[in-house]
Amino acid sequence: MSSVPETMFAVLQRHDGYSGKATGPAIADAADWLEGADIAVPAPGPGQVLIRLRMASVNPSDTHFIKGEYGQPRIKGAPAGFEGCGDVVATGKGADALMGQRVAFVASGSGAWAEYAMTEAMMCIPLRPDISDEDGSAQIVNPMTAMAMVDIARSEGDAFVVSAASSQLGKLMCALGRDMGLKPIALVRRTEAVETLKAHGAAEVLVTTDPEFLKQFSTLSAQMKPRVFLDAVSDQLSEQIFVAMPNRARWISYGKLDAEVPKLTQMGQLILMGKRIEGFWLTAWMRDTPPTDQARVAGEVQARFADGRWKTDVSVHVPLRDVVSDLADALKKPDGKVMITP
Amino acid sequence: MSSVPETMFAVLQRHDGYSGKATGPAIADAADWLEGADIAVPAPGPGQVLIRLRMASVNPSDTHFIKGEYGQPRIKGAPAGFEGCGDVVATGKGADALMGQRVAFVASGSGAWAEYAMTEAMMCIPLRPDISDEDGSAQIVNPMTAMAMVDIARSEGDAFVVSAASSQLGKLMCALGRDMGLKPIALVRRTEAVETLKAHGAAEVLVTTDPEFLKQFSTLSAQMKPRVFLDAVSDQLSEQIFVAMPNRARWISYGKLDAEVPKLTQMGQLILMGKRIEGFWLTAWMRDTPPTDQARVAGEVQARFADGRWKTDVSVHVPLRDVVSDLADALKKPDGKVMITP
């Protein structure tokens, strides 16, 4: 560990535990939740690795988490950030095979928004040299989620609905659906996004802000019979979309972009039409899916980035020391991900 | 068919199709939905049987149906009523094995609230002589639903929650749960029902009108970890019960006794805690479950009524000719089912 310093700059969580609220991933000022500081570089324990950060990506789960609205409690004073890529510079017992490798990772021991991150060896995927740092730093959360969710959609038929389809994840799911011979129905907020989504693989694109949207969706739903709704928004409009879907439809929520609390206006549809409402969380999927299946999915993901079928659109790079001041504004840019660099 | 008259008295539906509303099973005046009249006795087609009614039971699905809020459209001028028992007095081609038998039935060709009902032979269960007409007329909808739903509960652990547990179906599920070595948690509205439910097999009974109810339920939920909530009410309190249940909880709605529209206040629980919301409908279960499994369940049901483990509590008998005037009041009595007699 000769080249590893004793201290590092990191972006730290300012609060402990859960907030008990459900306000969505938007933040007005990152300083409400985060602060920059120099702290000790962590030492990897058995099965863990220390990673010198190359780049970290910002996902909605990151802002959910720092606000105390995610599936695990915050730790005040610990670095924020789940996902990134970097070089393994130190390893604990049993993890030395990764020493010196460039890896994509999800942080589990010490967060990704820091000069050094720490995680379990099993949360790392060694990166092929033909994968860029941009693609490498957004290799796990979105792509694995897309793979797993489109797989669920495929099990129920050919047509499926994707909300917030202009997101990186939405585009991945449309492209993946098309490649599998399925028919993704993309829902977007802005008319300008329609052509982009068609180019990305959507069979149909509807604009949710159109006053005729629900009528258009009902017509399309009756024709194409989508059984799965992969939903990042989970507001009242989501419920109305679900209501307009056919028998046996599954509303699968994987995000809560809108803080609006949806009402279940047609409870009887669950009973009489065999519909159901459920969630998807990659963490649970990784816990419940055998490692060999996960490795196969990870290999497919990397092949797609390597040959250019998939690409990570970047809206802006924010240096680690500017995260507290600049993150809230950076996240307002609509197309692509915010990337954090050391 | 020498003993079968040409006309019969029947209680007819006054409306066609669906109402498009969701107001629950309560009715203020049956005359809004039903009228009595003499109509032709139907003739059974291939696979069908004609049944001289002995007794019909009134289920919430009957009032949902006549109000146009059920899973199949109303037919104006056709007799109402799903379930009953009676004697097969005429048979269509292929159904003659049932001629002369006393059967429990669910009507599919012509409703049960009539002197004669018609249905498919496969919707009839021949009754053992030691089963009373009261038990025979409530042999299918509630008991089969109880069997199927408690089976789902058993697949997820030992504790499960039953709302509106003072209903016939609620009591059946508590008794069945106890007999299977499970721990039914019964929810009732009235303190007076607590001892009855304990006697019927509930491991715990909570009173939903107690101001401390949600606190009591949360404590119990943390101790007993029920994963399945069999819910006939489906209102906002149901949602709060679901929210207080542990990881992987399933809210299974099988009725909408309260017209209140529930809000999903903790959508994130579906994502992060693997919870889900679904429905149960006996009609769908019968469509999706192999006949041999259904026959086994029907045999178990009948054995339970024959040996006295199960019993149908009757609140009041209403003659067919008084249904239009008396049904709404009869349904207000809290304990037991309303039975219709010719």
Judged by CB atoms closer than 8 Å, whether chains meet at A281 and B274 is answered as: yes
Q: Please list the pLDDT of chain A residue by residue as tens digits (342 residues).
A: 458 999 999 999 999 999 988 788 889 999 999 999 999 999 999 999 999 999 999 998 899 999 998 878 999 999 999 999 999 999 999 999 999 999 999 998 899 999 999 999 988 989 999 999 999 999 999 999 999 999 999 999 999 999 999 988 999 999 999 999 999 999 999 999 999 999 999 999 999 999 999 999 999 999 999 999 999 999 999 999 999 999 999 999 998 888 899 999 999 899 989 999 999 998 888 878 887 888 888 888 999 999 988 888 899 999 999 999 999 999 998 778 999 999
Judged by CB atoms closer than 8 Å, whether chains meet at B274 and A261 is answered as: no
Could you say which DSSP state residue B25 is in? S
A334/A166 Cα distance (integer angstroms): 8
From A234, A264, A269, residue closest to B261, measured CB to CB: A264
From B256, B264, B273, residue closest to A261, measured CB to CB: B264
A22/A6 Cα distance (integer angstroms): 38
CA of B151, closest CA in chain A: separation in Å? 17
Judged by CB atoms closer than 8 Å, whether chains meet at A267 and B253 is answered as: yes
Domain boundaries, chain A: 7-138+312-341, 146-283
CA of B276, closest CA in chain A: separation in Å? 4
From A256, A263, A280, residue closest to B268, measured CB to CB: A256
B21 part of contact set with chain A, CB < 8 Å: no
Residue A102's alpha-carbon distances to A49, A50, A87, A312, in angstroms, are 12, 12, 4, 18
Burial bucket for residue A331 (CB in 10 Å: 0-12, 13-18, 19+): buried
Nearest CA in chain B to A20: B266
Chain B residues closer than 8 Å to A284 by CB: 272, 274
From A256, A266, A273, residue closest to B267, measured CB to CB: A256
CA of A305, closest CA in chain B: separation in Å? 27
Reading phi first (left if > 0) and then psi (alpha if -120 to 50, else beta), residue B131 is in beta
With cut-offs at 50, 70 and 90, classify the pLDDT of residue B2: low
Residue B189's alpha-carbon distances to B26, B145, B192, in angstroms, are 17, 22, 9
3-state SS, residue A114 = strand
- Written as six digits, the tokens of B48 are 């069908």
Nearest CA in chain A to B274: A279
Q: Which residues pair with B306 in a beta bridge?
A: none
B18 part of contact set with chain A, CB < 8 Å: no
A100 part of contact set with chain B, CB < 8 Å: no
When scoring B70, B233, B234, B271 by the number of chain A Cβ atoms within 10 A, the one with the most, hence best to mutate, is: B271
Judged by CB atoms closer than 8 Å, whether chains meet at B277 and A274 is answered as: no
From A22, A264, A265, residue closest to B268, measured CB to CB: A22
Q: Give the class (CATH, top level) of B146-283.
A: alpha beta
Chain A residues closer than 8 Å to B279 by CB: 267-276
Judged by CB atoms closer than 8 Å, whether chains meet at A263 and B264 is answered as: yes
Express each pLDDT in B26-72 by its tens digit.
899 999 999 999 999 999 999 999 999 999 999 988 999 999 988 78
CA of A253, closest CA in chain B: separation in Å? 6
User: What's the whole-number mean pLDDT along residues B196-205?
Assistant: 96
* A223 vs B128, residue with greater confidence: A223
Residue numbers of B between 215 and 254 with CB closer than 8 Å to A: 234, 253-254
| Amino acid symbol at A237 | L
pTM for this model (two decimals):
0.87
A200 part of contact set with chain B, CB < 8 Å: no
Assess whether pLDDT exceeds 90 at residue B292: no
Judged by CB atoms closer than 8 Å, whether chains meet at A270 and B284 is answered as: no
User: Would you identify the CATH topology of the domain B7-138+312-341?
Assistant: Quinone Oxidoreductase; Chain A, domain 1 (3.90.180)
Residue numbers of A between 44 and 73 with CB closer than 8 Å to B: 69-71
A267/B234 Cα distance (integer angstroms): 7
Express each pLDDT in B5-32 by its tens digit.
999 999 999 999 999 887 888 899 999 9
So what's the pLDDT on residue A24?
A: 80
- The DSSP secondary structure of B116-181, one letter per residue, reads EEEEEGGGEEEPPTTS-HHHHTTSSHHHHHHHHHHHHHHTT-SEEEESSTTSHHHHHHHHHHHHTT
Domains B7-138+312-341 and B146-283 share a fold: no
A28 part of contact set with chain B, CB < 8 Å: no
So what's the pLDDT on residue A1?
A: 46
So what's the pLDDT on residue B210?
A: 97
From A267, A278, A279, residue closest to B256, measured CB to CB: A267
Nearest CA in chain B to A64: B268
When scoring B61, B260, B267, B282 by the number of chain A Cβ atoms within 10 A, the one with the most, hence best to mutate, is: B267
Nearest CA in chain B to A234: B267
From A271, A275, A281, residue closest to B280, measured CB to CB: A271
Nearest CA in chain B to A269: B279
Which residue is listed with tokens 């660099």? A341
So what's the pLDDT on residue A308?
A: 87
Express each pLDDT in B229-282 by its tens digit.
999 999 999 999 999 999 999 999 998 888 899 999 999 899 999 999 999 998
Assess whether pLDDT exceeds 80 at residue B335: no
The C-alpha R_g of chain B, in whole angstroms, comes to 20
Express each pLDDT in B208-223 by its tens digit.
999 999 999 999 999 9
Name residues whose C-beta falls within 8 Å of residue B271's C-beta, 6 or more positions apart in sequence: A71, A253, A254, A255, A256, A279, A280, A281
- The DSSP secondary structure of B65-111, one letter per residue, reads HHTT-SSS-B-TTSB---EEEEEEEEE-TT-GGGTT-EEEEE-SSB-
Total Cβ atoms within 10 A of residue B193: 22
With cut-offs at 50, 70 and 90, classify the pLDDT of residue B1: very low
Q: Are B234 and B257 in contact (CB under 8 A)?
A: yes
Chain B residues closer than 8 Å to A279 by CB: 267-276
Judged by CB atoms closer than 8 Å, whether chains meet at A22 and B265 is answered as: yes
Q: b vs e for A267-301, b when ≥16 Cβ sit within 10 Å of the residue's Cβ? A: bbbbbbbbbbbbbbbbbbbbeeeeeeebeebbeeb
A18 part of contact set with chain B, CB < 8 Å: no
So what's the pLDDT on residue A310?
A: 86
Nearest CA in chain A to B285: A274
Nearest CA in chain A to B253: A271
